[in-house]
C-alpha cells in the first residue's frame, strides 16, 4: 500500500541512547502529522531499544525495527525502506533534529516543483546541542552531474518522492547516502534545494564522517567503483567536491 500523503521517516540507530529521544521528539513536534518513523536498532549495546520503545508507547507512529545482527547504516536503512508504507521517504539520523515546520514546508515545495528528491539548508550544532553554527545554504536545484562535485545534500534533510523513483535501496558502501542520491538523479529528474533552515546537524566526536582522510578515500571510491567514472573525470569532480566541502566546513 502506498499512501499519498504519508511520510515514512528512515532512522538507523546504533549506540544512539544519548540523542535518539531528542530526534524522535523533533519529529513528534512537526506541524505536519501524517508520518511514520521507522527507527532501526542495529544491535546497540546501550539502551537505545528501551528508549525507542518508550517513545513508541507515547506515540504509535514511532515504530521500532530490530536488526538480527549488526549490519551498518545501509542495511538498517534498507530494513526501514522495506517496511515503509509512504509515498514520501524522509531520512533523519538518530542524532539530528528537525525544526517544527520541516515536513510541512519541504513537502509543499517538493510537490510544487515536481522534484525527484529535495533537501534543505541547515545549521550544525555541538554535541551537547548548546552551540549553533552558521547557516549552511544549498543550491536551489541540483542534477546528477552537479551533485558529483558537490557536498550540498545533508542526509537528514532529504525527502524522496517514491511515486517518481519507484522502490530503491541503499548500496552497501561507505557513503550509502551519497551513492543513493546519485543513483536516483542519474535516472533523471532533479533535486530541489529548499531555501529554508529546517535541520540541526549534530557534530558528534568520533563519528565516521569526521575522519577526513577516510572520507576522501571513500568519495574517490564512489566515483571510480560505484559510478564507474574515468580517472580524469573522477579527479575533476573530486577537486570540486573537496573545495565545496572546505567552503562548507571551514568555520562552524
For residue 125, tell me if it sits in a domain.
yes
CA distance 121 to 198: 6
Q: Report pLDDT digits (tens) over 214-252.
A: 888 888 889 898 899 999 988 998 888 888 887 777 778
For residue 229, tell me if it sits in a domain.
no
For residue 234, tell me if it sits in a domain.
no
CA distance 214 to 153: 19
For residue 252, tell me if it sits in a domain.
no
Collapse the DSSP code of 227 into the 3-class scheme (helix H, G, I; strand E, B; otherwise coil) and give the result. coil
CA distance 82 to 166: 12
For residue 209, tell me if it sits in a domain.
no
For residue 133, tell me if it sits in a domain.
yes
Q: Give the pLDDT score at 141.
A: 97
DSSP per residue over 19-75, as a string? THHHHHHHHHT-S---EEEEEEE---SSSHHHHHHHHHHH-TTEEEEE-SS--HHHH
Q: What is the mean pLDDT of residues 96-118?
A: 98
In the chain, the number of structural domains is: 1
Collapse the DSSP code of 166 into the 3-class scheme (helix H, G, I; strand E, B; otherwise coil) and give the result. coil
Q: What is the mean pLDDT of residues 1-8?
A: 79
Q: Report pLDDT digits (tens) over 22-34.
A: 999 999 999 999 9
CA distance 20 to 55: 10
User: What is the residue range of 129's domain?
Assistant: 3-204
Q: Report pLDDT digits (tens) over 164-217.
A: 999 999 999 999 999 999 999 999 899 999 999 999 999 987 554 557 778 888
For position 34, which CATH number holds?
A: 3.90.550.10
For residue 230, tell me if it sits in a domain.
no
Closest CA to 10 of 70, 107, 78, 61: 78
Q: Containing H/E element for 104?
A: helix 102-113
CA distance 117 to 98: 17
Q: Could you tell me the three cell numbers for 218?
A: 571513500
| β-sheet bridge partners, residue 7 | 35, 88
The owner of cell 515536481 is: 114
Amino acid at each position: 500500500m502506498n499512501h499519498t500523503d504519508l511520510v515514512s521517516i528512515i532512522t538507523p540507530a546504533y549506540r544512539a541512547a544519548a540523542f535518539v529521544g531528542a530526534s524522535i521528539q523533533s519529529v513528534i513536534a512537526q506541524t505536519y502529522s501524517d508520518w511514520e518513523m521507522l527507527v532501526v536498532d542495529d544491535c546497540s549495546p546501550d539502551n537505545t531499544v528501551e528508549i525507542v520503545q518508550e517513545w513508541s508507547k507515547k506515540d504509535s507512529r514511532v515504530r521500532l525495527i530490530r536488526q538480527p545482527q549488526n549490519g551498518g547504516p545501509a542495511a538498517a536503512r534498507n530494513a526501514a525502506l522495506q517496511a515503509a508504507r509512504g509515498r514520501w521517504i524522509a531520512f533523519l539520523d538518530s542524532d539530528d533534529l528537525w525544526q517544527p515546520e520541516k515536513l510541512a514546508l519541504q513537502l509543499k515545495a517538493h510537490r510544487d516543483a515536481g522534484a525527484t528528491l529535495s533537501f534543505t539548508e541547515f545549521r550544525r550544532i555541538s554535541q551537547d546541542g548548546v552551540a549553533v553554527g552558521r547557516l549552511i545554504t544549498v543550491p536551489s536545484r541540483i542534477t546528477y552531474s552537479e551533485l558529483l562535485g558537490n557536498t550540498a545534500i545533508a542526509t537528514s534533510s532529504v525527502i524522496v518522492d517514491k511515486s517518481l523513483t519507484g522502490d530503491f535501496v541503499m548500496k552497501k558502501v561507505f557513503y550509502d547516502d551519497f551513492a543513493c542520491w546519485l543513483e536516483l538523479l542519474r535516472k533523471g529528474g532533479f533535486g530541489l534545494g529548499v531555501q529554508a533552515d529546517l535541520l540541526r546537524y549534530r557534530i558528534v566526536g568520533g563519528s565516521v564522517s569526521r575522519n577526513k582522510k577516510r572520507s576522501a578515500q571513500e568519495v574517490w571510491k564512489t566515483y571510480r567503483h560505484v559510478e564507474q567514472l574515468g580517472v580524469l573525470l573522477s579527479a575533476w569532480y573530486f577537486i570540486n567536491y573537496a573545495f565545496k566541502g572546505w567552503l562548507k566546513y571551514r568555520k562552524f
